[in-house]
A and B are shown apart, each in its own frame.
Chain A
Amino acid sequence: MVEFPQSIDDLPTSMPRWVGQPIPRVEDRSLLTGQTEFVDNITLPGMLHCAIVRSPYAHARIKSVDVSAAAKVPGVVAIVTGEDARRETRPIYTAPPGWGGNCLAADKVRFAGEPVAALAATSRYIAEDAAELIEVEYEPLEVVTDAEASVREGAPLLFEERGTNVMYQRKFVWGDVDAAFAAADHVVTERFRWHRVGANPMETFGVVSQWDPIEGTLTCRGSFQVQGFSATGAAATFGIPLNKVRFIAQPHGGSFGGKGGQRGTTITTMLSRKSGGRPVKWIEDRIEYLSAGGGQAWDRHYEASLALTKDGRMTGLRVRLLDDLGGSAEGYGAIGAAKPLASFTGCYTIEAAEYDLTIAATNKLPCSAYRGMGPPPHNMVLEQLVDIAARELRVDPAELRRRNFIPKDAFPYVIPSGNEYDSGDYEATLDAALALADYAGLRARQDEARRDGRLFGIGVVSTIEPGVFNSNVYSLVGFPGGTAQPEGVTLGIDLFGTITARVGFAHEGQGQHTVISQIVADYFGVEPDRVRVVVQDSMNAPPGYGPGGSRLGVAVSAATLGAADRLKDKLIRVAAKLMEANPAEVELMDGKLRIKGTTGAEMPIGQVAATMLTRSDLLPDDMEPNPQATYVWTAPGRTMPDESGRVKSYLTAANACHVVAVEIDRQTGEVRIDKYAIADDCGTRLNPAIVAGMTQGGLAQGVAAALLEEYVYDENGQLLTSTFMDYLLPTIYEVPIPDKTEIVTPSPFTPLGAKGMGEAAIHTAPAAIVSAINDALAPFGLRATETPVTPNRLWKLLQQAKG
């Protein structure tokens, strides 16, 4: 039985602890100097370069593909087409299942940019020149780019064999929703349109695939977010045993959900096979990433209602979502529609809720996962309803929220959709944020601004960030999910007494290797930068998943502690034998094994480990000469969904309150953020500098979703925002550096009390900014219900104010 410390105070150290300190990240030196093996730095002997031929049409039948001219170009080694893909591979796995095709389209294309052929050549230049010579004849089909149109009778069908564009439909009802609405004194209803946004890491996806024709094995090095999952997918796609597939996740410049790379990995593997086993590299370029990669998510049409009593108690929530998933279900974007179940009713004690969910296919890029995984739009909708209600009830929006918060003594608290929140003090977070922002002062400034005819608004929004994902909730939309979400760490001490941690996920920028180093440092009495964290490939790593769904900080610290406990037990048994003591009398403290309650008798861990490795004659009977231990952690107590879809999914519930003030230029519709204050609670902060970094990054993406980013398609399904000139990422000028403060309610469910917080401010910021804008517009009775709130949209709205 492994014992986990209950809090950071239980770690076996008498020194100032490393855990909880904002120490610089151990990863940064190699990442920032570029002295690390990013995938594009890899050159293997005989390596070829891939270029992909993509459909210019959003919906078309493929009549013919002629590769003869390309094949004649000197330097071209292999060419593959949709016919090859159909012969050699299975369709890409999708969720919901059965809504996709092969990595190269053979019969028809369903979005502009869909791959139809690919080739490998001795340089990327030659590959791109030759790719231009591949001639594809298309028969264009009618295009549907709007989900509301695509679910209508008579719409052009993307998958004719399915007879509909509705990929998924289910109405979840939890509690007596009809009764709650029938008894309500107030019902507020609004429609919202959240336009497509998505992940844009600094580095796009890239992969080098190599097929070994003798052994029938596959090795892929790439910027995989989750290498084990990708390896499993590749084995299934090629119908080969999983033990013949090795995936190596290279360190990479961010992911945020969009680095599955299924098509690129499959295509390069086919090319490697066809070229007799030469490695084939494909680095997705930025236009490919934006128009045909993993960077699009959350294209949503909402209609939602909130029921309240006359004293402002929220009693029921109805959300109808039409989710536009694009041209297939290959990007796992659908799980973004399932995850809101983990925090459906936000911070509030709403007892009855309904979720009417339709997922539709359209001729646009298939949606992928994106940081936050679906709740950010949901939170925007719920929080706008709360604000609308506050206005209708003439209650301060902060006050209305306060009245409905789950009280701090009600935890663990089960929400209508079945998830259980671990702990929290939402009122404390709200109060801290209000104080930090000087809420009263902001309201006074608002009064003054209104007197001057200026549009000044304040948003106050509290949200939950579900942490430590579990794929059980994703199984509702057809993702292969169970209740186990393993994460393993192996710890070992070598002959020199130095400690190595082995994990199965690469650097992506979040800093989990630092967290491991901090925990090991406290546990075994060394400096964090003396701990080496080594990334194992998918064949060698212990079972594990990797980063995603705000899980890894918690999962990996738990796994590290489990492995440390097992290793400590071994060291204690050996030390007890050497010190001629009872193991029960020996303890680990400050890196030494010592007899409890005595001074003098102690052995450093390195000495004990070295003894294990060199002197079997001194070891206890049955003890292996192996100063290593592995622990594979999974969140305890998870369940499969019940018949109404209720499921205990995410283990932790972090909470944040954002207070933001904006001023709108009444004539141009430009929005300027005047003040931004954040109070958040993610339980124990294992490394506050990392928490601050994650919050700032999430805020950038949240500001962008509220004000800037949008993938725009024309009616022919052509992406109009295929470069960073038009897809507007925020820069340092657009993202505020917020004032921040913290509340700490440790999680009772995780070792050390930390809660998942890797998505952070993206859950809250879009809602808070839209709230502030709508607060500014309130005197005109106007509200923005479409994101991003661009100057053009806001100006159009303000036209109505002028009558």
Chain B
Amino acid sequence: MKPPPFEYGVAESVGEAVALLQRYDGEARVLAGGQSLVPLLNMRLARPAALIDLNRVRELDFVRASGNTITIGAMTRQRSVERSPDVQRQNALLHAATQNIGHPQIRNRGTMGGSLAHAHPASEYQAAAVALDARFTLAGPSGTRSVDAAEFFVTYLTTAIEPDEVLTEIAWPALSPGAGWSLIEVARRHGDFALAGVAATLTPDARGRCAEARIALFGVGPTALRARGAERTLTGAALEGGVFDEAAVSAEREIDEPPSDVHASGEYRRHLVGVLTRRALREAAARAGVATSTGVA
């Protein structure tokens, strides 16, 4: 388990990183926390000509809260995100997503940008980004551009980042005031990638009806996806038992054929989408302070 030969370059700034990427003409990969990339190298599943190490690019390591957005540098360690008081205050969903990534050892090295760029379909960050409409800033030879989550995640392990681009920062809209949230998943073990999961927020209006619902399903398709039908079902409805069941049924139907693997059949994953959507909505409603009729979840 040794990687094939590669060249190694260290970037001290985003500009340097982009210049190095250009030099290798699409054959280089950037190295962030290495938690996903290094195993791929060692198993010889990835064979880049060069690694461009971003670990000394200080300008990409920050958490900046302003108004109702938190902007986080791509090289910010997941552990720093987890510990950020701004994140905890403004965006409990993002905080929970972070806590669900692997184990502390992984989060100490793994970066927010690395997780999102790697684009594993069961990634909690991807789910949160899709649920909350996070925005991604990419820097390339001709300057920077900004893409939204729907555009950023293309398919399984594939994003809109061009070979000569670097993901620099991610802007996370704060949860709406009064919103309730939930992030739940079924995984074989604590810290594993989810077999299926749901990230959701519910914003009630003054009368306890749903002003806005956001539901992202993850681990059940090539990317995390919004359950738009379920969201429509909820919007304007009274937040209580029956509508959650309806939304859950809708979510179950909205996904394409979910993947089958050694841990879960597609059929089981689809079933989990329904169960978890129902549970997530109940939990989000409860967090939003809306009393819901309980029962066996």
Contact = CB atoms under 8 A, between A and B. Distances in A.
Contacts of B275: 667-668
Interface in A707-760: 708, 710, 712, 720-721, 723, 725-726, 728, 730-731, 733-734
Contact of B2 (A125, A723, A790): A125
A453 interface: yes
A720 B262 contact: yes
Contact of A129 (B4, B39, B264, B272): B4
Interface string B117-153: 0000000000000000000000000000000000000
Contacts of B4: 128-129, 132
Contacts of A708: 188-189
A712 B296 contact: no
A668 B190 CA distance: 15
A286 interface: yes
Given A670-B186, A734-B190, A287 B1 contact: yes
A51 to B, nearest CB: 8
Contacts of A725: 192-193
Contacts of B193: 725
Interface in B252-267: 261-265
B188 A790 contact: yes
B268 A792 contact: yes
Interface string A141-180: 0000000000000000000000000000000000000000
B131 to A, nearest CB: 21
Given A666-B296, A667-B297, A712-B262, A791 B1 contact: no
B296 A728 contact: no
Contacts of A726: 261-263
B291 interface: no
Identify the interface centre among A287, A667, A728, A734: most chain B CB within 10 Å of its CB: A667
A796 B296 contact: no
Interface string A281-321: 00001110000000000000000000000000000000000
Nearest to A795: B268
A721 B262 CA distance: 8
B189 A733 contact: yes
B228 interface: no
A734 B261 CA distance: 22
B289 interface: no
A125 B5 CA distance: 8
B191 interface: yes
Contacts of B195: 791
A129 B5 CA distance: 8
Interface string B34-54: 000001000110000000000
B190 A731 contact: yes
Interface string A121-147: 000110011001000000000000000
Task: Kindly name the residue among B193, B262, B268, B297 whose own CB sees the greatest number of chain A CB atoms within 10 A.
Answer: B262
Chain A interface size, as a band, is 20 to 34
Contact of B191 (A128, A733, A790, A792): A733
Contacts of B265: 792
A299 to B, nearest CB: 15
A776 to B, nearest CB: 15
B271 interface: yes
Nearest to A667: B275
A285 B296 CA distance: 47
Contacts of B39: 723
Nearest to A669: B268
A710 B192 CA distance: 16
A733 B262 contact: no
B278 to A, nearest CB: 9
Nearest to B275: A667
A286 B262 contact: no
Interface string A690-703: 00000000000000
Contacts of A667: 275, 297
A668 B189 contact: no
A314 to B, nearest CB: 36
A731 B191 contact: yes
A792 B263 contact: yes
A363 to B, nearest CB: 18
Contacts of A723: 39, 43
Nearest to B190: A733
Nearest to A51: B2
A286 B1 contact: yes
A472 to B, nearest CB: 39
Most buried by A among B4, B5, B186, B297: B186
Contacts of B272: 668
A334 B263 CA distance: 29
A726 B264 CA distance: 11
B22 to A, nearest CB: 27
Given A287-B43, A712-B262, A791 B188 contact: yes
A705 to B, nearest CB: 14
B1 A285 contact: yes
Interface in B232-272: 261-265, 268, 271-272
A120 to B, nearest CB: 15
Most buried by A among B43, B192, B268: B268
B191 A791 contact: no
Contacts of A132: 4, 44
Interface in B1-26: 1-2, 4-5
B274 to A, nearest CB: 9
B271 A795 contact: yes
Contacts of A666: 296
Given A124-B2, A287-B1, A667-B275, A728 B190 contact: no
Nearest to B296: A453
Interface string A768-803: 000000000000000000000011100110000000
B29 to A, nearest CB: 19
Nearest to B186: A668
Nearest to B279: A667
Given A666-B296, A668-B272, A670-B186, A792 B2 contact: no
A714 to B, nearest CB: 9
B296 A730 contact: no
Nearest to A454: B296
B15 to A, nearest CB: 32
A561 B186 CA distance: 54
A231 to B, nearest CB: 29
A434 B263 CA distance: 35
A730 B189 contact: yes
A129 B4 CA distance: 6
Interface in B39-76: 39, 43-44
Given A452-B296, A726-B262, A728-B189, 16 more contacts: A124-B2, A128-B1, A128-B2, A285-B1, A667-B275, A668-B186, A668-B275, A712-B262, A721-B262, A728-B188, A728-B192, A730-B189, A791-B188, A791-B195, A791-B264, A796-B268
9 contacts: A132-B4, A287-B43, A667-B297, A668-B186, A708-B188, A725-B192, A726-B262, A731-B189, A733-B190
In the A-B complex, list the 6 residue pairs whose CB atoms are closest, starting with the nearest. Answer: A733-B190, A285-B1, A712-B262, A667-B275, A125-B2, A128-B2
